[in-house]
Every structure is written in structure tokens, then in C-alpha cells.
Amino acid sequence: MNRTDLIQKLRNVGVDLPELEARILCEEIAGLTRADMLGGAPVTFTPDQTQRINSTIERRAAGESLWRILGYRDFWKHRFALSPDTLEPRPDTETLIETVLKAPPPRRILDLGTGTGCILISLLHEFPEATGVGVDIAQGAVETAQFNAQNCGVGHRATFVRSNWFEHVEGKFDLIVSNPPYIPAPEIRNLQKEVQNHDPIRALDGGIDGLEPYKFLLPRCKNYLEAGGRVVMEIGIGQSEDLARLADDAGATLVRIVPDLGGVPRAVEIAYGDK
């Protein structure tokens, strides 16, 4: 098998970006660099490498994402291990990091539904004086986040706790961040098979309208915020007006809505205090 064969095999099983995935597999399995491939030299694989590639293609054909197969995904400035209890970190979520960087530096951060820990860990790297707590209802996610924090060098400043939202949270924070489930339950069956068959459903399902986590969290966040603290949350497509209403109902103010790189409103910054 050579690189051209690999691209065609990926295309044949319905991969949307076969050239990109072929390059990643060449890097990961054959140890090639981008310079090797850009140089135009022929790329061939050993029998062992070909076996691994064929196994990967079979799993891709069955609907498993490349990142699930590789066991990691890059986010912001680091690489994060995945597990069955975690979502794959996605580029859109980096909008949360960008939003927080424009606010006053936090000293103590709470990450609700931490998953891989990618949001909290990335923020701890950006704010070297800060500490943080990440909570998740899934023990597997807690363990994955702990591993990632150690691997990324912030394990001494991050604590991860199995908790149903605020159930086991103590103290107050300058910043609360969350990428909660926000997909309306009826829409989950329409998601890509890589998502609906391999991402944890409870990390996707936001209830019938996709807003249930926000309805629960927004009235309660203020009890865990220091004076002047902020909440930054990811939202789904078309949810910004609903979030403004829910924030108002909770006695909060929607400070700003931040679009992702595609121009879609993706993050909201919320404050409590004088109305």
C-alpha cells in the first residue's frame, strides 16, 4: 500500500477529508513528517503498518472517528487523551478560552462537566497563578481529566471530582466555565454517526429543547461565584436569544455573545449583580 492507495481507501469508506486523514495516519503510524510528504517522495508502508492502517480504515467504515481510534485529540495548545466517557474536544470550544482571555484573570476556576478537562487545563496554562476544580458525573471522565492534567503539567493546580453538577462542589470561584449538553434530544438521531454512536449521549443530550442544563445551572451559579465573578458557557446554534432570556430569569446579565471562527454564536459571558 502507498499513500495514494490510502487516500482512495479512506474515500471509498466515506471519509469526508481523506487527504487530511491520510496525512495524519502517515504521521502517526509511519512516523513521517509533513516535510517528507511535501517533498514528493513516494510513501510506502511496511506490512505491520499496512495492517494497522487497514484496521483503522475498518473502524472508520464502522463510524468511529479517527481521533477515537488514535485515542487523543488536540485542543488549544495541548493534546488530550480520550475515553468512552468524554466528548472529543472540538475547535468551536476554543471560543470559550478566547472569551475568558478577554476578561479579568481568574484566581479560582470551576469547570462544570469537565470531560477531558481540556477547558480547565487550557485555562490553567493561560493563568499560571490560578487553581481549578473540574467536576463530571462520569468517573471515567474524572480519571481521564486527572491524567490529562498531569500530562499537561498542571496536575498540582487542578482537582477533579465526581459530581452531578454542584452536588460535591464547595467554596466560591472567580470564574465558572461549562460546555454543557445542549443538543435537543430529538436531534441526536440526526447527528453524524461518529458522534451519535461514539460520543457519550449524556454529554450531548440537553433535553427536549436543548436548554435543560442552562435552566438548572444559571439560577445556581451565583451561589458559587465571588463578587464580580463571571460565567462563560458554550451554546448551540440558535440558542443565544434563549440564553439571554434564561439569564434574565435567573437575575443575571448576558454580558456578551462571542462567535466561533465560523461566525456562529458559540460562547456567552454572564454576570450576576445589579440588574
Q: Cell 479579568 appears where?
A: 104
Averaged over 35-49, what is the pLDDT? 74
Calpha distance 24→180 (Å, rounded): 29
179 in Cβ contact with 115 (< 8 Å):
yes
Domain 72-272 CATH superfamily: Vaccinia Virus protein VP39 (3.40.50.150)
Amino acid at 202: R
Mean pLDDT over all residues of the chain?
A: 93
Ordered DSSP codes for 36-102 = HHHTT---B--HHHHHHHHHHHHHHHTT--HHHHHTEEEETTEEEE--TTSPPP-GGGHHHHHHHHT
pLDDT confidence of residue 207: 96
Q: Is the pTM of this model over 0.75?
A: yes
Question: pLDDT (tens digit, 9 = 90+) per residue, 150-185?
Answer: 999 999 999 999 999 999 999 999 999 999 999 999
Count Cβ neighbours within 10 Å for each residue of 149-162 and write b for 16 or more, e otherwise: beebebbebbebee
pLDDT (0 to 100) of residue 29: 86
Q: In this predicted structure, what is the pLDDT of residue 71?
A: 95
**pLDDT for 241 beyond 80:** yes
Highest average pLDDT, of 26-30, 31-35, 157-161, 191-195, comes from: 157-161
pLDDT tens by residue, 204-221 = 999 999 999 999 999 999
pLDDT at 40 over 70: no
Task: Tell me what pLDDT residue 253 has.
Answer: 94
